[in-house]
Every structure is written in structure tokens, then in C-alpha cells.
């Protein structure tokens, strides 16, 4: 399928994901012009106060809307006026808003519905609740891990606190007590830190290229979803694409087509004592067609199926 009239808008087009998407031949652009932090703060203030005239902030794509038939844009409080601008300037563009996070942590659905756009989400509960179109998370089958000469870690967690630190700490302390090698790289949410677990925090977020290096050294990836989230995170896809085991508290994972009890350990109350036996089990390879289903190209095709 040719997507020469498709534009995928990102808040940071230099991040790992949009750079990978560019390699697939998709036109990717930054939503906003690049500005110093103080200028971005002024822009945010204007958006929060609902002051019109968003156009001066937008990148050059905004002057060329007639080139595109479809635009995909991520949901965010700061992209709502952008969707409004696009729809005002071009009534015919197919406009897709993609919720990559739960609705509760992003912009209001009703803010977008005013502007005649399609709203899609990775979260099945949100799709049912708000009558949205569903699509999966996605990954990239061309990403390869380098060989690691260092000793393998048994368990890896990389992510933000997001109110999960107490539960993450319980898992880490269990692993430590049982001499199961692990690395937990937890960044604080905003400036908030749980004083009981200060030693678990890392203040600096790491580039995704470094995340991949850690994955290459690890046998198992830990995924811990926030409360009330039903959509799959990227962590299970990293495990799937790289042939790693997965530990997760997401009970919905059992319904995924790649689920295998040898490969996935679902955390339930007080069942961590079974974890050591799980880690000893051999990994079961997953059918390539199942893996392909979650590749970016297949994800994109699903937007265009009738």
C-alpha cells in the first residue's frame, strides 16, 4: 500500500518511534516549531487559556494541507487546537486522533469530537466506554538487538513511577532476596518521589537506544500497568519481538494471541514464590505471523481496512 498522501504528526519527530516510522517511507512531521523552553511555556499558556491563533506555532506542514488525504495525530491537551485548525482549513482530510495513552491521562474525547475526526485507541475498555475504534499497540520488526557479552540479567524494568513504586519495590525486593539478578530503572513522575524508596529512583530518563541495550542483556522484561488500564503497553511487544520472557500484572494478557504460559508470568496476589520456577522454564517460540501482526506496517493497514 502506498501512503504518499499520509502525514503522521508527532510532538517530537526526532524521538525513536517517529524516526523508525520515517524509515518505512511515511511522512513524519513535528506538530509545532522548535522553540526554547520559555517560548514553549508561553505556547502552552496560550493553549490552556484557549487563546486562538495557533497557526504561528505550527510547522511548515500547516501550509501544505492540500498535499494530504489522511493525517494521524496523537491525543494530547496541546493537540486539540491543532485538530481544530486542520479541520477548519480542510474539510476533506481524513483526520485520525490516536490515543496512545488511556483517555483518563490525556485530552477529553469530547474536545476532539467537535471537529469531525476519527478517534482510535489501544485501550479496549476506553473503546467500549467512549465508542472509539480499536487498534493495537505496535512495534518494528526491523529493530535488532546487539549481542551482549555481559552476564544476562534475569529481570529488567525501565519506566516511570506513575504511582507504581510501592508495587515495583515489592517485586524488586523479592528478586533481591532470592538472588535473582535484576535492574530497575525508575524515573520519578514530575518532581514527586516516594520517600520510602528514594534509592530506587533515577532522575535522568534514558534514550530508547539505551533501553534496547539493557534489553539485550536481559532474559525477562517486567511490565507493570497502571490501575484501570486495559490497553497493552509496549513492554509485552518488546518481549514478543525479541524473544524475551514477560512478567506482568496485566491479567488481560491471557487473551492476546501470543500468550504462552511458558513465556508470560501474570502477577497475582502472593504468587511471587512461583516466579523462580517460571524463570527456569524454556522460552517457547511464537509464530512469525503473530509477531508480524503487531508490526507498524500491519498496524497502519488496519486504519485503511473497510
pTM equals: 0.91
Cβ neighbours, 10 Å, residue 133 = 13
Question: Is 62 within a domain?
Answer: yes
Q: Could you tell me if 34 and 91 lie in one domain?
A: yes
Q: Mention every residue, 6+ apart, whose C-beta is less than 8 A from residue 201.
A: 161, 186, 187, 188, 193
Q: Could you tell me if 175 and 205 lie in one domain?
A: yes
Q: Could you tell me if 214 and 123 lie in one domain?
A: no
The count of structural domains within the chain is 2
CB 218 within 8 A of CB 184: no
DSSP characters for the chain? ---TTEEEEES-TTSHHHHHHHHTT-EEEESB----HHHHHHHHHHHHTT-S--GGGB-GGGG-GGG-SEEEEE--GGGHHHHHHHHHH-SSSEEEEEE-S-GGGS--HHHHHTT--EEEES-HHHHHHHTPEE----B-TT--PPPP-SPPEEEEEEEE-TT-HHHHHHHHHHHHHTT--EEEEEE-BTTB--GGGGGGB-SS---HHHHHHHHHTEEEEEE-PPTT--S--HHHHHHHHHT-EEEES-GGGGGSTT--TTTEEE--TT-GGGHHHHHHSPPPPPPHHHHHHTBHHHHHHHTT--
Q: Could you tell me if 112 and 226 lie in one domain?
A: no
pLDDT at 84: 96
CATH number at residue 190: 3.40.50.2000
Q: Could you tell me if 201 and 129 lie in one domain?
A: no
Q: Could you tell me if 89 and 173 lie in one domain?
A: no
Q: Could you tell me if 23 and 120 lie in one domain?
A: yes
pLDDT at 235: 96
Rounded-to-integer distance, Cα 273 and Cα 251, Å: 18
User: From first to last of its 306 residues, what are the pLDDT tens digits of the chain?
Assistant: 679 999 999 999 999 999 999 999 999 999 999 999 999 999 999 999 888 889 999 999 999 999 999 999 999 999 999 999 999 999 999 999 999 989 988 999 999 999 999 999 999 999 999 999 999 999 999 999 877 666 589 999 999 888 888 989 999 999 999 999 999 998 888 777 777 777 788 888 899 999 999 999 999 999 998 776 778 999 999 999 999 999 999 999 999 999 999 999 999 865 888 999 999 999 999 999 999 999 999 999 999 986
Question: Is 140 within a domain?
Answer: no
Q: Mention every residue, 6+ apart, whose C-beta is less than 8 A from residue 131.
A: none
Question: Is 256 within a domain?
Answer: yes
Q: Could you tell me if 66 and 175 lie in one domain?
A: no
Question: Is 40 within a domain?
Answer: yes
| Domain membership of residue 120 as a residue range | 6-135
Last residue of a domain, one of 109, 135, 161: 135
CATH number at residue 92: 3.40.50
Q: Could you tell me if 159 and 217 lie in one domain?
A: yes
CB 247 within 8 A of CB 223: yes
Question: Is 160 within a domain?
Answer: yes
Q: Could you tell me if 158 and 127 lie in one domain?
A: no
Q: Could you tell me if 168 and 127 lie in one domain?
A: no
Last residue of a domain, one of 106, 135, 164: 135
pLDDT at 43: 94
pLDDT at 27: 98
User: What is the spatial order of strands in the sheet that 118-121 belongs to?
Assistant: 27-30, 6-10, 70-74, 94-99, 118-121, 133-134
Amino acid at each position: 500500500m502506498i501512503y504518499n498522501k499520509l502525514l503522521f504528526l508527532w510532538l517530537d519527530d526526532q524521538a525513536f518511534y517517529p524516526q523508525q516510522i520515517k524509515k518505512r517511507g511515511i511522512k513524519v512531521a513535528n506538530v509545532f516549531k522548535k522553540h526554547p523552553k520559555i517560548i514553549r511555556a508561553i505556547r502552552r499558556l496560550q493553549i490552556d487559556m484557549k487563546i486562538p491563533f495557533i497557526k504561528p506555532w505550527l510547522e511548515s506542514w500547516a501550509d501544505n494541507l492540500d498535499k494530504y488525504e489522511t493525517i494521524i495525530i496523537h491525543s494530547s491537551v496541546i493537540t486539540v487546537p491543532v485538530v481544530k485548525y486542520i479541520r477548519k482549513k480542510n474539510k476533506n482530510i481524513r483526520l485520525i486522533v490516536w490515543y496512545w495513552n488511556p483517555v483518563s491521562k490525556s485530552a477529553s474525547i469530547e474536545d476532539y469530537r467537535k471537529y469531525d475526526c476519527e478517534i482510535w485507541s489501544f485501550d479496549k475498555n476506553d473503546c467500549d466506554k467512549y465508542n472509539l475504534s480499536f487498534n493495537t499497540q505496535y512495534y518494528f520488526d526491523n529493530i535488532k538487538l546487539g549481542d551482549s557479552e555481559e552476564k544476562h540479567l534475569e529481570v529488567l524494568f525501565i519506566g516511570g513511577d506513575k504511582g507504581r513504586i510501592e508495587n515495583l519495590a515489592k517485586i524488586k525486593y523479592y528478586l533481591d532476596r532470592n538472588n535473582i539478578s535484576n535492574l530497575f530503572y525508575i524515573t520519578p513522575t514530575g518532581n514527586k518521589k516516594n520517600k520510602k524508596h528514594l534509592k530506587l529512583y533515577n532522575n535522568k530518563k534514558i534514550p530508547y537506544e539505551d533501553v534496547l541495550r539493557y534489553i539485550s542483556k536481559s532474559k525477562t522484561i517486567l511490565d507493570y500497568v497502571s490501575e484501570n488500564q486495559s490497553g497493552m503497553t509496549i513492554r509485552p511487544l518488546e518481549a514478543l519481538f525479541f524473544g524475551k520472557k514477560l512478567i506482568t500484572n496485566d491479567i488481560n494478557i491471557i487473551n492476546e494471541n501470543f500468550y504462552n504460559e511458558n513465556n508470560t508470568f501474570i502477577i497475582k496476589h502472593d504468587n511471587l514464590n512461583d516466579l523462580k520456577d517460571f524463570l527456569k522454564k524454556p522460552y517457547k517460540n511464537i509464530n512469525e505471523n503473530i509477531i508480524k501482526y503487531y508490526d507498524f506496517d500491519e498496524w497502519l493497514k488496519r486504519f485503511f481496512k473497510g
